[in-house]
Structure 1
Amino acid sequence: MPSGGARTKAGRMPDPASEAFQQRAGGLFALPANGYRRPHPKFPLPPYAVKDDPSQEERWNRREREVWNELWRYPQGYAWSRPQYKYLQHIVALYVRQYVLCESPDAKAADRATLCRYADSIGLTPQGLRLNGWRIVADEPKPARARKSAKVVPFPDPRDEWADMQ
């Protein structure tokens, strides 16, 4: 019987300390760990109309804007703002709408499953980061500049010493 082949979420997560991971990580799109702090687009979907209770529409739409603004502060917001990933902005908006729907008591299991699929496609889960080719990197402090001092002692190059001995 033939095997199934590679699947997107199959297998263990790679070890970040391994050499193979480091080689693959060279081509990944790095996202800053401190998040995205620039202005972001407005929520692109039309206002949501609550069928049963129109008085809840304002509360619902306000909650959508809150979640939208919060998501854009994540490191993934940096990727969503780039031109090559701009197509994900509408999927992020659909994720926000689905998120608010899942907060309501009327949410069904299918709604929550859809939310998980959206989270994967926009890179909010470890699998989604891997599928999109993204990685979150910690901001490293800039190395301190070496000051020139009059007390610098020259250090001979061992290769020169070896050449002299030959």
Structure 2
Amino acid sequence: MAMPSGGARAKAGRMPDPSSEAFQQRAAGLFALPANGYRRPHPKFPLPRYVVWFTFKDDDGFHREPDDAASAQWNERERDVWNELWRYPQGYAWSRPQYKYLQHMVALYVRQYVLCESSDAKAADRTTLCRYADSIGLTPQGLRLNGWHIVADEKPQARRRSAKIVDFPDPRDEWQSMQE
């Protein structure tokens, strides 16, 4: 009895060759993200403030109290990561109405990212971070799953020609002329 294949997965198969004709045809229908990133105002961090708890033991047993200094530091780090992520090309997509639903997941990614920076992070936390990154388009697989691709915003400026530079013919042009 044959086992079912299980369907498409984020990291299944080889990465496509961007220079192939098949890739170019698929890329025609992709949502283009500007390579220089998103430079407009973005929403405020939507999750409630994170509270870091301090646990201590006294004669009555274990107790927990909020650690205000650590909580402030944690929330500042979340704000910094949030602001940095919105400067990425993906910020342009997250701002579009059809992808607005991803904004909350971006916030969850930020919280998970800050957690993974701490010494308390577990392997499961890091795995969750990778899954969030795929979902919000921060990885090559995530870009592909969301139907996004990053494109250069402006054409490169022509290099100034120096008198010392000697132009050589392009071998592809020579090959084409030999075929005719």
Partner of residue 161, structure 2? none
Partner of residue 49, structure 1? 51
Task: Give the match's secondary structure for 1:31.
Answer: strand
1:46 corresponds to which letter in structure 2? P
Partner of residue 29, structure 2? 27
Partner of residue 16, structure 2? 14
Alignment of 1:53-68 (within 5 A): 53-68=67-82
Partner of residue 39, structure 1? 41
Matches of 1:128 and 1:104, distance apart in 2: 25
Partner of residue 125, structure 2? 111
> What's the CA shift string for 1:19-65, capped at 9, x where partnerless?
11111111000000000000000000010011223320000000000
Matches of 2:136 and 2:127, distance apart in 1: 15
TM-score using structure 2 length: 0.76
TM-score using structure 1 length: 0.82
- Unmatched segments (≥5 aa) in structure 1: 144-166
Partner of residue 90, structure 1? 104
Alignment of 1:104-143 (within 5 A): 104-141=118-155
Residues 20/104 of structure 1: CA separation in 2 closer, same or farther (3 Å cut): same
1:13 corresponds to which letter in structure 2? M
Matches of 2:109 and 2:6, distance apart in 1: 30
Question: Segments of 4+ in structure 1 off by > 4 A?
Answer: none
Q: CA RMSD in A?
A: 1.7
Q: As a proportion of its length, which structure holds more strand? A: 2
Task: Give the match's secondary structure for 1:30.
Answer: strand
Task: Give the match's secondary structure for 2:53.
Answer: coil
Matches of 1:135 and 1:44, distance apart in 2: 26
Matches of 2:8 and 2:155, distance apart in 1: 38
State which drifts further: 51-60 or 128-137: 51-60
2:129 corresponds to which letter in structure 1? L
- Unmatched segments (≥5 aa) in structure 2: 55-66, 158-180
Identity of aligned residues (%): 80
Matches of 2:105 and 2:134, distance apart in 1: 11
> What's the CA shift string for 1:51-106, capped at 9, x where partnerless?
22332000000000000000000000000000000000000000000000000001
Task: Give the match's secondary structure for 2:153.
Answer: coil
Partner of residue 159, structure 1? none
1:60 corresponds to which letter in structure 2? W
